[in-house]
Structure 1
Amino acid sequence: MNGKKEAVLAAGKRLFLEQGILQTSMEQIAEAVPVSKMTIYNYYQSKEGLLDQVVDQMLEEAWALYRGVMDRAKDPLDALALFHKEQESFSLHVTQQFITDLAKFPEQMEKMMAFNREKILPEFEMMIFKGQQLGQIRKDISPHLLVAFLTFIKEFSARTEWYDGLGSLSSVGEQLMTILYHGIIQKDQNSEDFSAEDDE
């Protein structure tokens, strides 16, 4: 990808995330680079074409972050602790307005859901299973059921009205991660984790 095309992608992504997709015009993106509006159309054909590339890039970044945690973690419990501590980085600075607008582009929402179903959740299921074998994660919770629950939460949370009265997107994400993290860890592992956090 040439430098100018990358700059258009970066500007489009920043503006989509900051002010929403529908509120961002091609003129604003062109001014932010700066390039002519025609140059953007030559690269991406339409605003939807640019959004498609933005979503692809965000999924690549999410996968790199996920793989980075999995590669650094010494075991499943450590991976869960890292996901819990570093959850802010996984938000990729996604705003509530961006998600609200993205819901109006069903093919992009489906792409994000498919990414979770096909890449993240199968790996997460294997991690849970391994953690159960090591006695770190409660064995009375089925990995399949947990993944089904996570899929349900992910797909249900794509409905923007779900957030009404719950607070910001990052706050909701943090609370859900806390419920998940402390809900599936074996009790003795959980207390060890709490004491480790208290020592910091």
Structure 2
Amino acid sequence: MDGFKRRSELKKTSILSAALDLFMKYGIKKVSVAEIAKAASVSQVTIYNYFGSKDKLVDEVITYYIDDVWNEYEEIIKSDVDFSKKISQFIFNKKMSASSIHKEIYNYIMVEFTSGEKSYIEEFYTDKALPEMIKLFEQAKKEGQIDPTISNEAILAYIQMYREFLQQKDVYEHILPLTEDLTKLFFYGIVGSRK
């Protein structure tokens, strides 16, 4: 990558990062392009040149956020720690905790995820997250953390039921404060962890 492209990418990343920080604190609607420009130390014109509109910027910020969180999860998945430690790290991940994500961002992600259209979030879930979860469950079976007689089909059905429930508008609009508890239930069931 030549110097111009590198500087351009750095500037774009700076804008995405500044916008994400502001959106996480104040929501999407309350943050103006002028505030984002100031936080990123660029002009508003620069933001419009890169993104075209605030709506397009929001879309790219969500993609940036998902990729950033996924990179953190991927590090956990690929680490040498056992399954139970990985799950604990997932549950207590600060970037995905209910206290760190503004409800407007959460709802935006859920609307995208439930839209029925082939969105980035849907493709991400299908092409990246789901296959890695299956690998993780395979690791857990080998370590004796999950009953090895449970088929991957049953695990996928469980994930799909969970997903379909969370995709209901009347559910996802009110469930953000329960995120940590639901993640614990997803992985440990009502018995709780084996510690």
State if a TM-score over 0.5 links the two structures.
yes
Matches within 5 A, 1:39-188: 39-84=46-91, 86-91=92-97, 93-102=100-109, 106=115, 110-139=119-148, 141-154=150-163, 156-163=165-172, 166=175, 169=176, 171-183=177-189
Change (3 A) 1:151 1:54: farther
Match of 2:37 among 17, 27, 30: 30
Superposed CA deviations along residues 101-138 of structure 1, whole A, max 9, x for unmatched, are 44565599931232122111111112213322432212
Q: Which amino acid aligns with 1:63?
A: W
- What is the TM-score when the length of structure 1 is the normalising length? 0.73
Structure 1's unaligned 5+ residue stretches are: 194-200
From the superposition, tell whether residues 156 and 80 of structure 1 become closer, same or farther in structure 2 (CA, over 3 Å): same
Structure 1 residue 162 displacement after superposition:
1.1
Deviation at 1:12, TM superposition (A): 1.4
> In 2 relative to 1, CA 22–125 (structure 1 residues): closer, same or farther, beyond 3 Å?
same
Paired amino acid for 2:122: M
Matched, 1:12 2:19: yes
Q: Which runs of 4+ in 1 moved over 4 A?
A: 102-109, 163-166
- Once residues 173 and 109 of structure 2 are traced to their aligned partners in structure 1, the CA distance between those partners, rounded to angstroms, is 17
What is the deviation of 1:13?
1.3
Residues 141 and 184 in structure 1, CA contact (< 8 A), matched pair in contact too: no
CA distance in 1, matches of 2:12, 2:139: 43
- How much has 1:89 moved relative to structure 2? 3.6
- Distance in 2 (CA, whole Å) between partners of 1:96 and 1:77 is 29
Contact 1:156–1:162, Cα closer than 8 Å, also in 2:
yes
Cα 1:177–1:104 shift into 2, 3 Å: closer
How many angstroms apart in 1 are the aligned matches of 2:57 and 2:152? 37
- Distance in 2 between residues matched to 1:103 and 1:74, nearest whole Å: 31
Q: CA RMSD in A?
A: 3.2
The code of the aligned residue for 1:162 comes to V
The gaps in structure 2 that reach 5 residues or longer are 1-5
Aligned length in residues: 185
**CA apart distance, 1:61:** 1.2
Cα displacement string for residues 12-61 of structure 1 (whole angstroms, at most 9, x for unaligned residues)? 11222222223333233234334332221112111122123212221221
Relative to structure 1, the CA distance from residue 62 to residue 155 in structure 2 (aligned partners, 3 Å threshold; closer, same or farther) is: farther
